[in-house]
Amino acid sequence: MKKLIIIGFIMLSFVPAAFAVTVLPDPSTTYDGLPVALPYDQFFSYSTKLLTQFGYSGFTNAAGVGGLDVVLLTQAGGIDNDPVNGSFVFEDPQPSATGGTDTLSGTWGAGNEAHGPVLVDNLVGYLHNQFGPTNNIPVFTFDIVEPGNGDPFSGIPIPPSPIDLQMVAKFSVYDPVTKTDKAIWSLDGINNGSWDPNDFITVHGKLSFQGLSGTVYTADNTGSGKYDFLVYAPTMDLSQYTGKGYEFHINTQMKLLDGGGEESFISGAFTTGRTVTPEPATVLLLGTGLLGLVIRRRLF
C-alpha cells in the first residue's frame, strides 16, 4: 500500500446564490509549499479540517443527514431522499456498515433502494438548481466515523481498532437499455485513468505534515460529525449524458471498518464553479510531490 501525504490548503471564493456556496479552486493551487489537493486517479481530494485550521470559513458544515445534500451512504434509518430541496427525488441512501461489520460493498443509484434508479437528467437538474445552469460537476463529501484508539504518527503499533479505513469507488453513467457503462470515473490508488478495484486508498483518521515554513498542520477526522473530505472529478461533466435516459451509479467498496457509520453526500454547498480538465503535467506534479515535498502518507 503506497504511503502519501496530501492536502494543503484551499483558497475560497463565493458565487451569488440564495445561500452561501463555496467554490473550490483549481487543484494546482499551493499553500506553504503543499498542494491544494491530491489526485486519486480521476478525482481530486481536499481536507476540510485543514482548511478550517488555516482560518477559512465554509468548511465546518455538520455532516448530518438533514439539509440540502443528497445522502448517498448512512447508517441512520428512515432517511428519505424524497424530496431534496423541495422538488428533486433521488434514490434513498445505501446502508452503511454497522458495528461488527468490517467491510462494505454496494451501489447507489441503480435502484437498489426506494425512489431509484438515479437519472442523470435529474442529477443535472439538481446541480443547476443549486449552483446555476453552467455547473454540471457534482462535488462529493465524506464523513468518516472510525473511533479507533491508535495514532499512526506516534510510531506506536496500531491496536486492533484502527482509526483508518480503506476504500475504492467507481462512478459511472449507465445505459439501462444496453446494460453498459457509457462513462466511468475511478477513485482508486493508481492515477492511470482506469478502474482499479483492488487498489484501495487509505483514508487516514489523523493527518500531520510540515509546510515549507516549518509550520506543522494537523487534522483529526475521528468522529467529528463534520464533513472530512471533498472530492470531485474535473472531467465529470454530466451535461454530456442528458436526454438519453442514462442512470448515474456509484459503486463503493470499504474495508477495515470498525464502528461503521460512515456517511457520504452529493454536496449542495460546494461546487467546482466551472468545468476543469487537468493537464497531464499538473496531475504528474501533484502526484509525485510539489516543490520538494517529501510524500510520506496517503489520505483520502
pLDDT: is 297 or 238 the higher one? Answer: 238
23 and 10 in contact (C-beta within 8 Å)?
no
Question: What is the sign, positive or negative, of the torsion defined by CA atoms of 7, 9, 13, 19?
Answer: positive
Closest CA to 104 of 79, 77, 72, 80: 72
Q: Residue range 57-62: average pLDDT? A: 72
Instruction: Indicate the number of domains in the chain.
Output: 1
Structural domain of 153: 13-288
pLDDT at 176: 98
pLDDT at position 6 over 50: no
Looking at every residue in the chain, the average pLDDT score rounds to 77
Please indicate, yes or no, if residue 294 is contained in any of the structural domains. no
Please indicate, yes or no, if residue 37 is contained in any of the structural domains. yes
Please indicate, yes or no, if residue 5 is contained in any of the structural domains. no
pLDDT at 292: 35
pLDDT at 145: 74
Please indicate, yes or no, if residue 66 is contained in any of the structural domains. yes
pTM: 0.81
Please indicate, yes or no, if residue 154 is contained in any of the structural domains. yes
In the chain, the percentage of residues whose pLDDT exceeds 70 is 72
- Beta bridge partners, 108, equal 250
Please indicate, yes or no, if residue 4 is contained in any of the structural domains. no
Please indicate, yes or no, if residue 248 is contained in any of the structural domains. yes
- Measured CA to CA, the distance from residue 298 to residue 296 in angstroms comes to 7
DSSP structure class, residue 153:
T
pLDDT: is 1 or 79 the higher one? Answer: 79
Q: Residue range 185-213: average pLDDT? A: 90
* Structure confidence at residue 50 as a pLDDT band (50, 70, 90): confident
Please indicate, yes or no, if residue 147 is contained in any of the structural domains. yes
